[in-house]
Chains A and B, each alone.
Chain A
Amino acid sequence: MTATTTIDLKRLGALKAPAGFADRVLANAGLIDRYARFDTVIGPVFVAWNRNGVSAAMRAKDAREFEEWFARDVRRPLLAGEAPAGMERKIANQLDGKRRMRFDLRGLTDFEQAVLMKALEIPRGQVRPYGWIAREIGHPHAVRAVGTALANNPIPYFIPCHRVIRSDGVIGNYSGGGPEAKRDILTLEGVRLNRLQDLARQGLRFEGVRSTKIYCYPTCHHAKRALERNVVWLHDAAEARAKGFRPCKVCRPEAA
């Protein structure tokens, strides 16, 4: 009988998709984040990603801790997942400074994004003061805000907020596990922290090179190449200019 048949068919239409189905679809479309644990040069790291790129990273002790941190800090749904092919390689390249990966910073303010993108420009093995970032992104007085933005970096290690330290030599805060972790990572990257801090304590911020008449941040690639006998230590930009040095165009110790 038609009536019974069509009623049965309509009942079939009342079926509901299984729990979590929508989230799985959105995750496969790359619209919600997935995460996995990776072994890296700095040890095991939990990394979250979506179609826009890597969205978060943390050295959590287990998946649960990472999920809780993600829920609190990033405030989006998160599913465990299998890493796409090549992801491990990309992570290694990023941490080695060989090649950059894509990041998803959508949840952050424009200012926070500008700070983090600027931090990405600091090469491995080098450091810059907070004030450098503030000035470079066009907010020279927002030094504290830069500190806050870096402290809230959802992707530490990958976006190298650890390469930003205080100009007085104090290591400063680190979202990726406190000052100790920051010191460890910088040392791993080849920064001679003790020497840097000794200089900072004496108020020596810049390194001038007599032969080129250029001054740099002490960790700048160009400063490191100078012969010891050509090096002059400088307190500030005014002293540098008074002594006839111009700022390096690569590390930009003052606005060019």
Chain B
Amino acid sequence: MEGVERVFERMVHEHQDRLYALGYALTGNRHDAEEVAQDTLLRAYRALLTYPPERVRDLKQRAWLHRIAINVARNRHRGMRPKVVELDGSEPDVAPGPEAQALDRALMNGVMSSLEALPPRYREAVVLRYVQDLSYGEVAEALAVPVGTAKSDVHRALKMLRGENDDRHDDD
């Protein structure tokens, strides 16, 4: 038992930023990002408690956690009405530092709105590959699809993102 607690504590500290960024890229706001990251880790913990020690030891944590996070985000999506993204970044929760605010604004105005427009399948694939910097093998594992599918989904997504960005520029 003590062993699993240690493993989990390390896991939380090592992966918290990554999972938060993933939550943000998938949901588009800080509040939901935190919930996705937190739910993911708590689910991971409940799972770890049931795993035999060898399985805990040999776990590929990064791919495993991303897979859980994708499921958490999908389930949230299913259970709720699609949310309107707050484009001005005016969240009611804790104010981030100026650096994060600047980053947020830039992202909000650009990439996030493009990501929001992608169908979930392509959004997940491209977020895992480029936001999370996973290998195609890990993307495939997290999405439970063959590697070839992961690759083509990522490329389709990039194509759509480029197209959309161009459209935006025309509109502006």
Contact = CB atoms under 8 A, between A and B. Distances in A.
B103 A18 contact: no
A187 interface: no
Given A14-B21, A17-B20, A18-B96, A9 B111 contact: yes
* The 6 nearest A-B residue pairs measured at CB: A9-B130, A17-B20, A15-B21, A17-B16, A13-B131, A8-B111
Contact of B12 (A10, A11, A18, A25): A25
Interface string B48-70: 00000000000000000000000
A1 B162 contact: yes
29 contacts: A1-B162, A2-B158, A5-B111, A5-B165, A6-B158, A8-B110, A8-B111, A9-B126, A9-B127, A9-B131, A10-B131, A10-B133, A12-B21, A12-B111, A12-B112, A13-B21, A13-B131, A14-B103, A15-B103, A16-B20, A16-B100, A18-B96, A21-B34, A22-B13, A24-B38, A29-B8, A29-B41, A31-B5, A31-B9
Contacts of B111: 5, 8-9, 11-12
A77 to B, nearest CB: 11
A18 B34 contact: yes
Interface string B10-45: 001100111111001100001001100110011001
B17 A15 contact: yes
Contact of A13 (B8, B13, B30, B133): B133
A107 to B, nearest CB: 13
Contact of B16 (A1, A10, A14, A21): A21
Contacts of B12: 22, 25-26
Given A8-B111, A13-B132, A16-B20, 12 more contacts: A1-B162, A5-B111, A5-B158, A8-B107, A15-B100, A16-B17, A16-B100, A17-B19, A17-B20, A17-B34, A25-B42, A28-B42
Given A2-B162, A5-B158, A15-B103, A10 B130 contact: yes
B161 interface: yes
Contacts of A22: 12-13, 16
Interface string B80-97: 000000000000001010
Contacts of A9: 25, 111, 126-127, 130-131
A25 B16 contact: yes
